[in-house]
Amino acid sequence: MPISHETYASLTLEDTLWGLRSGAFTAPELLDAALARIDACEPAVNAVITMDIPGATKAAGAWPRNGTRAGTGASLAGAPIAVKDNLMTRGLKTTCGSRILGNFVPPYDAGVVEKLRAAGAVIVCKTNMDEFAMGSSGRNSAYGATGNPWNPKLVPGGSSSGSAAIVAYGGVPAAIGTDTGGSIRQPASFCGLVGMKPTYGRVSRWGVGALGSSLDQVGPITRTVRDNALLFDIIAGHDGRDSSSLENPFVPTLPTIEDGVAGLRTAYDPGLLDRGGVHPAHAEAIRFAVKAIRGAGGEVVEVALPLVKYGVAAYYIICACESSANLARFDGVRYGVRERAGGGLWDTYSKTRGLGFGDEVKRRIMMGAYALSSGYYDAYYLKAARVRRLFATEYEKLLAGVDVVLLPVTPAPPRPLDQDCTPLENYLGDVFTVPANMAGIPALAFPVGTHDGLPVGVQAMAGYFREDALYRLARTIEKEATLSDPPWARPAPEAGQ
Amino acid sequence: MSGRKYVTTVGVEVHVELATRTKMFCSCLNAPQGVAPNLATCPVCLGLPGSLPVINREAVRLGIVAALALNCAVNPRIWFERKNYVYPDLVKGYQISQIAMPLGERGWLAIIGDDGAEKKVAINRVHLEEDTARLAHSGDNSLIDVNRSGAPLMEIVTDAVLRSGREAEEYVRKLRAILVYNGVSRCRIQRGEMRVEANVSIAPEGAKELGVRSEIKNQAGFNHMRSAVEYEVRRQAGALDAGGTLRQETRGWDDVNQRTFVQRSKEDAHDYRYFPEPDLPPLNIDPAWVAAVEAALPTGYEDYVAGLLGQGLTAADVDALSRNDALGFLRLAASAMGDKTVLFAKRLIKDVFALANSTGVPLDESRLGPSAFRDAALLLENGKIAAEGFRTLLDVLYREGGEAERRAGENQLFVETDAGAVAEAISKVFAENPRLIEDFKNGKIAVRNALLGRTMKAVGKRADPRVVSGLLDQALQHQGRADHDRDTRLPRGKS
């Protein structure tokens, strides 16, 4: 039975799968609703770089009714999913949000995309993002800024700006993002969503346009905690093509998600909330979560979070160094947009990169090349690498004593889309998200309520491979939280609002 | 020539392509023959966004073999770095290489020094990295072939301890022989599988510090390297004698004019901005693995050569084997040192090198492998094929490859063991040559050889001359007796 796009918009991933299996609607009907919703919302939000209507139609057509055909075990069969535009998709343009890859059609699928396709997902589109995942506003895209569906005059966060925005306006029930220093959690939080940054190595990086290779992880962005676990369970696992992929067996998280917080030890740093310019609503969100945990029979202790003030400085050195090398391959010769110049090869290189990269990308390439150069390496890269090792050991120590640490996702709520700030102001907004990337541990952002018409989230970090604990905790708090008037339950926003 | 005396110091860096089946960090074929440019590629060696490297274990094993053969310590935990520079042949804008913790360190290789005594050349490091794509220039155009991109490459660096072009040449020749012998690389210089660079400096005798060095890139051969080093020594001495100073620079070798020329001065030198490759976690080299590799190593090169001499091969034989890169081939063909080794060595020198000469294809470019050669030699040894057939078989194997038994069968080279067929041939020859038979009966014994020749021709290459000869003699005796017995039966069915 056809389904209206307004009804579709508020369906969770579990709802869509249930509806497909029960025969309430078919995958093509669901896709029609998704396309209608996306059409209605895109003019105001700009969450999408490339639609894949032929591919999605074909994928949906494979599941005409009763999503899981007997025996296939395809757990996402027929569900519309959006994928960030830095995950390679075979035969489908993949820009990484950059002009330099404006014509790049990869010949292969990312590991995560393979898993999604194998599970029967219908990949609807490639989502907008800060160029090469550099940014936390969604403004650094060569394809235009993305608006926040809660209030299109505000930023949606970034760099997975489009993946968060499209889930928030109900274009798809779930999307894939990448997180190098908060790029899943921060936009998820700004858009009232659940976003997981998994343990480093838990999800394959094969086919992910690299930013900071030692920090990058792929993860799901959804509206509910259960949806998030469901999708995480599908994309996680070993991939022999990624040498940093973990070989220890993956235990699915969804089966234990309703186990509650009894037996989980949660810590938070009250000092962090009082000092350090955390917005009162964000501090209040932590207190709300603490109360919910205690109310559900969980233990909460107070700790002092280590090293927080060193995180941003060390993170930006490591990330810039790695990305300066990762971006060296883009010269317009073998693929990508070539800007011809009369003076020969080296002029073509300069012009291609000069026009192809945005300001933030150039800034990071220069910072990274500088920090790695002879005479500066020890003072910058090496020192940052040592700080990073401290993060790993200190957080491992901390998480030996507790299961979960609660902290804010960001110090402040989203800024207006038209407000310019200095790069440093932007970088400092990552203060609470970079520790998990530095330590390689999993971290989950999830909403606990609304304040002044905007969602407010909290972040939980756990020890290596303890995504299950994060989901249990978040699921428990989610039951106490209400989000009033979320964009997925509203009519499509009007452009130019 | 010069008033002052100088001490020459040379250090040598050698790159060799490893003889693995696949590339260093992906599963594309390494140096495939007959594959069109840019087709032996994948997202990894094309440097496409999102691709990631995976270390080739076989390349690491060959690196360990080389490190052990060069008396190096194998580091128990190694890692790779990114070496950043921009060049059209470098698809990622960085090369995955090793700087801080190479696979092997602190080894040596013995040569005969300029003073005639044995000299242990200190080897500083043996490390693994990936090759670049190949560029071809024609006129204003440059073409790129990515097939070579990501091929496994090993760099072997000496300390600055060599004293002359001759020592440097001796070192590189010996190094090449050892690497080929151990199966690490085929080291075919004309194919770029071995590339040599020398760092040359001179300092006044007695000086405490080394002089300003120049780095001479990519010499095409051993002779070139020696000439380049010797030229460079003369050039530097001339400059210093004339009161000039030297600059640290990279120089190329101009073989036509027999001189070096400036390619790049130190001011233009790259800052490679090395940092640990985040896509590859450090690799633990299990000591048990190293022990297993060591246990599986062939006899040391020096011992092997000594063993050959001890078995009765001449120094000239060994030299011929060495010059044809056949010591490793021989070692693989004859697994244990013994009389078979000598036999195989002689067959190699006599028959295989003759093929190399007549076809113009050196052994290591041919399709003949050690095991096929061994099988062919054993077929001859066991009388399954004749000498003539053996040469034909080698020729087929050399040009077309394949297994010895199968090729011998296809080409009908097995000796005729069916005495019946030989006997039939004999009776046919007897019937066609009554005059000769008559002559024989009349005591002209010499016609036997003519009869043998005709019989051999009738039977073909498959005939073992010894068998035919024996049966012919029996038949001739019967001919003699037949006069007495009136029995014209010929022997049948007995081999």
B405 Cα to chain A: minimum distance (Å)? 41
Q: How far is CA A28 from the centre of its chain?
A: 27
Q: What is the DSSP letter of B22?
A: B
What confidence tens digit (pLDDT) does each residue in A133-187 have? 999 999 999 999 999 999 999 999 999 999 999 999 999 999 999 999 999 999 9
Binary contact (B54, A241; C-beta < 8 A): yes
Give the integer Cα–Cα distance in Å for B47 and B28: 13
Mean pLDDT, to the nearest integer, of A88-108? 98
Q: Which pLDDT band holds residue A276 (cuts at 50, 70, 90)?
A: low
The DSSP secondary structure of B133-176, one letter per residue, reads: PEEEEETTEEEEEGGGTT-EEEEEEE-S-B-SHHHHHHHHHHHH
Chain A residues with CB inside 8 Å of B146's CB? 334
- Quote the pLDDT of residue B383: 82
Q: Give A 352-371 residues with CB within 8 A of chain B.
A: 369
Q: Which pLDDT band holds residue A433 (cuts at 50, 70, 90)?
A: very high
Chain B residues with CB inside 8 Å of A212's CB? 278
A372-389 exposure pattern, b = at least 16 Cβ within 10 A, e = fewer: beeeebeebbebbbebbe
- Continuous segment of H or E residues that includes residue B306: helix B301-310
Binary contact (B49, A369; C-beta < 8 A): no
Chain B residues with CB inside 8 Å of A209's CB? 49-50
Mean pLDDT, to the nearest integer, of B39-44? 96
Closest alpha carbon to A50 in A104, A4, A10, A118? A104
Binary contact (B43, A107; C-beta < 8 A): yes
- A37 within domain boundaries: yes
Chain A residues with CB inside 8 Å of B92's CB? 325, 328-329
Q: Give A 242-271 residues with CB within 8 A of chain B.
A: 242-244
A378 Cα to chain B: minimum distance (Å)? 11
Q: What is the pTM of this model?
A: 0.89
Give the integer Cα–Cα distance in Å for B41 and B31: 11
Among A146-150, A271-275, B66-70, B373-377, the minimum mean pLDDT is found in: A271-275
A424 Cα to chain B: minimum distance (Å)? 25
Minimum Cα–Cα distance from A213: chain B residue? B278
B122 Cα to chain A: minimum distance (Å)? 28
Give the integer Cα–Cα distance in Å for A199 and A380: 26
Q: Can you name the residues that pair with B158 across neighbouring β-strands?
A: B123
Give the integer Cα–Cα distance in Å for A299 and A476: 13
Which of B54, B94, B273 has the CB atom closest to A243's CB atom?
B54
What confidence tens digit (pLDDT) does each residue in A284-341 have? 999 999 999 999 999 999 999 999 999 999 999 999 999 999 999 999 999 999 998 8
Q: Rounded to 5 degrees, what are φ and ψ at A465?
A: 70, 10
Q: Give A 91-120 residues with CB within 8 A of chain B.
A: 94, 96, 101, 104, 106-108, 110
Give the integer Cα–Cα distance in Å for A457 and A409: 7
Distances A376 to A327, A381, B290 between C-alpha atoms, Å: 20, 8, 37
Top-confidence range, A72-81, B210-219, B235-244: B235-244
Q: Give A 434-493 residues with CB within 8 A of chain B.
A: none
- Quote the pLDDT of residue A418: 94
- Quote the pLDDT of residue A64: 59
CATH classification of the domain holding A151: 3.90.1300.10
Binary contact (A243, B275; C-beta < 8 A): no
Binary contact (B48, A107; C-beta < 8 A): yes
Binary contact (A325, B82; C-beta < 8 A): yes
Binary contact (A104, B50; C-beta < 8 A): no
Minimum Cα–Cα distance from B83: chain A residue? A325
Contacts of B187 (CB under 8 A, 6+ apart): B16, B176, B179, B180, B193, B194, B325
Among A80-84, A488-492, B76-80, B473-477, the minimum mean pLDDT is found in: B473-477
**Chain B residues within 8 Å of chain A (Cβ atoms):** 43, 46-55, 82, 84, 86, 88, 91-94, 142, 144, 146, 271, 273-276, 278-281
What confidence tens digit (pLDDT) does each residue in B315-335 have? 888 888 888 888 888 888 887
- Quote the pLDDT of residue B493: 43
Distances A251 to A222, A238, A437, A440 between C-alpha atoms, Å: 20, 12, 21, 18
Task: Tell me which of B42, B48, B145 to substitute to probe the interface with A (most A C-beta atoms closer than 10 Å).
Answer: B48
Closest alpha carbon to B395 in B425, B372, B415? B372
Binary contact (A373, B281; C-beta < 8 A): no
Minimum Cα–Cα distance from B142: chain A residue? A345
Residue B419 and residue B490 in contact, taking contact as beta carbons nearer than 8 Å: no
Minimum Cα–Cα distance from B25: chain A residue? A241
- Quote the pLDDT of residue B162: 97
Domain span at residue A36?
Answer: 5-267+403-489
- A322 within domain boundaries: no
B174-188 exposure pattern, b = at least 16 Cβ within 10 A, e = fewer: bbbbbbbbbbbbbbb
Give the integer Cα–Cα distance in Å for A85 and A177: 9
What is the number of other CB atoms lying within 10 angstroms of the CB of residue A390? Answer: 16
Q: Which pLDDT band holds residue B483 (cuts at 50, 70, 90)?
A: low
Give the integer Cα–Cα distance in Å for B129 and B92: 14
- Quote the pLDDT of residue B342: 85
The answer to whether the bond into A204 is cis (omega within 30° of 0) is: no
Pairs from A69-75 (Cβ < 8 Å, separation ≥ 24): A72/A120, A74/A118, A74/A119, A74/A120, A75/A17, A75/A119, A75/A120, A75/A230, A75/A234
Chain B residues with CB inside 8 Å of A320's CB? none
B82 Cα to chain A: minimum distance (Å)? 8
CB–CB contacts below 8 A, A to B? 101
Number of domains in chain A: 1
Q: Which residues of A are catalytic?
A: 84, 159, 183
B97 by DSSP, 3-state: which? strand
**What are the residue ranges spanned by the domains of chain B?**
6-284, 298-410, 419-485
Confidence check: pLDDT of A96 > 90: yes
Q: Can you name the residues that pair with B29 across neighbouring β-strands?
A: B22
Three-class SS of chain A: CCCCHHHHHCCCHHHHHHHHHHCCCCHHHHHHHHHHHHHHHHHHHCCEEEECHHHHHHHHHCCCCCCCCCCCCCCCCCCEEEEECCECECCECCCCCCHHHCCCCCCCCCHHHHHHHHCCCEEEEEECCCHHHCCCCCCCCCCCCCCECCECCECCCCCCHHHHHHHHCCCCCEEEEEECCCCCHHHHHHCCCEEEECCCCCECCCCECCCCCCCCEEEEEECCHHHHHHHHHHHECCCCCCCCCCCCCCCCCHHHCCCCCCCCEEEECHHHHHCCCCCHHHHHHHHHHHHHHHHCCCEEEECCCCCHHHHHHHHHHHHHHHHHHHCCCCCCCCCCCCCCCCCCHHHHHHHHHHHHCCHHHHHHHHHHHHHHCCCCCHHHHHHHHHHHHHHHHHHHHHHHHCCEEEECCCCCCCCECCCCCCHHHHHHCCCCCHHHHHHCCCEEEEEEEEECCEEEEEEEEECCCCHHHHHHHHHHHHCCCCCCCCHHHCCCCCCCC
Q: Give A 142-171 residues with CB within 8 A of chain B.
A: none
Minimum Cα–Cα distance from A214: chain B residue? B278
- Quote the pLDDT of residue A74: 59
Sign of the torsion angle spanned by Cα atoms B481, B485, B490, B492: negative
Binary contact (A374, B271; C-beta < 8 A): yes
Q: Which pLDDT band holds residue A65 (cuts at 50, 70, 90)?
A: low
Mean pLDDT, to the nearest integer, of B369-393? 88
What confidence tens digit (pLDDT) does each residue in B131-181 have? 999 999 988 888 999 999 999 999 999 999 999 999 999 999 999 999 999
Binary contact (A329, B84; C-beta < 8 A): no
Minimum Cα–Cα distance from B82: chain A residue? A325
Chain A residues with CB inside 8 Å of B274's CB? 372
Among B293-302, B370-379, B440-449, the minimum mean pLDDT is found in: B440-449
CA atoms within 13 A on the CB side of A124: 31
- Quote the pLDDT of residue B456: 80
What confidence tens digit (pLDDT) does each residue in B50-86 have? 999 999 999 999 999 999 999 999 999 999 999 999 9
Q: Which pLDDT band holds residue B366 (cuts at 50, 70, 90)?
A: confident
Chain A residues with CB inside 8 Å of B82's CB? 325
B287 by DSSP, 3-state: which? helix
Task: Tell me which of B146, B279, B283, B284 to substitute to probe the interface with A (most A C-beta atoms closer than 10 Å).
Answer: B279
B256 by DSSP, 3-state: which? coil
Q: What is the CATH number of domain B419-485?
A: 1.10.10
Give me chain A's average pLDDT, please. 95
Chain B residues with CB inside 8 Å of A327's CB? 93
Binary contact (B50, A214; C-beta < 8 A): no
Closest alpha carbon to B126 in B69, B88, B50, B164? B69
Distances B239 to B75, B209, B228, B233, B242 between C-alpha atoms, Å: 42, 18, 16, 10, 5
Q: Give A 302-331 residues with CB within 8 A of chain B.
A: 321-322, 324-325, 327-331
Give the integer Cα–Cα distance in Å for B11 and B126: 14
B380 Cα to chain A: minimum distance (Å)? 48
Minimum Cα–Cα distance from A95: chain B residue? B49
- Quote the pLDDT of residue B481: 58
